[in-house]
Amino acid sequence: MSYSLPELPYAVDALEPHFDSETMTIHHQRHHQAYVNNLNKAIEGTDAENESLENILRHISQYSPAIRNNGGGHYNHSLFWEILSASPKTAPTGKLAEEIVKVFGGLEQFKEQFNQAGMTQFGSGWAWLFVKYNGTIGVASTANQDNPLMDTNLTNQGYPILGVDVWEHAYYLKYQNKRADYLNAFWSVLDWAAVEKKYEEVISNLG
């Protein structure tokens, strides 16, 4: 199996003014493409060629650092593009909304905790909302291109349903070093409908 760069489900300028078109182009066409290219090189001739990416990540301790970094990069960015929209659903409803109230106290409290995870991730990494293996939800941050699927992540394992890239390449052209401003802008283009769909898929598979 070889991997390919997914098309963006919107134009590169569709998320303006929150995410600028130049950053979106570079982030997608250069950074994500590089992860895809390097992942394909890293799995060539190994048993990873015959495994799904999710299965590779769930057993990532058995694979090389190149597969970990680039497999994570491809998976994380693919999820990131999918949950953004120019006309997003701005708040969750249904079962996910109920779970957010149950776990965090409400949507605003969740956003505060999520933003805090993104702000306190030292250096490059991601902040996540994920479904734990017991079906509850949690917030976590990971370094580099790691994510909650990976078995190297000992404290916060599960299925990512919402992630934000806090590598500087995701925001530096527009926001410079103001990661907080970027995280606040993220909520304006996050599509809760996409997150709810991922949540429902995970819960149905767990059940």
What class does CATH assign to 94-206? alpha beta
User: What band does 153 get if pLDDT is binned at 50, 70 and 90?
Assistant: confident
Q: How would you class 150 by CB atoms within 10 Å of its CB: exposed for 0-12, middle for 13-18, buried for 19 or more?
A: buried
Fold that domain 21-82 belongs to in CATH: Helix Hairpins (1.10.287)
The whole-number average pLDDT for the span 174-187 is 97
Task: Return the pLDDT at 114.
Answer: 98
Q: What is the DSSP string of 38-106?
A: HHHHHHTTSGGGGS-HHHHHHTGGGS-HHHHHHHHHHHHHHHHHHTB-SS---S--HHHHHHHHHHHSS
In the chain, list all ranges with CATH 3.55.40.20.
94-206
Confidence of residue 1 (pLDDT cuts 50, 70, 90): confident
Residues of the chain with CATH 1.10.287.990: 21-82
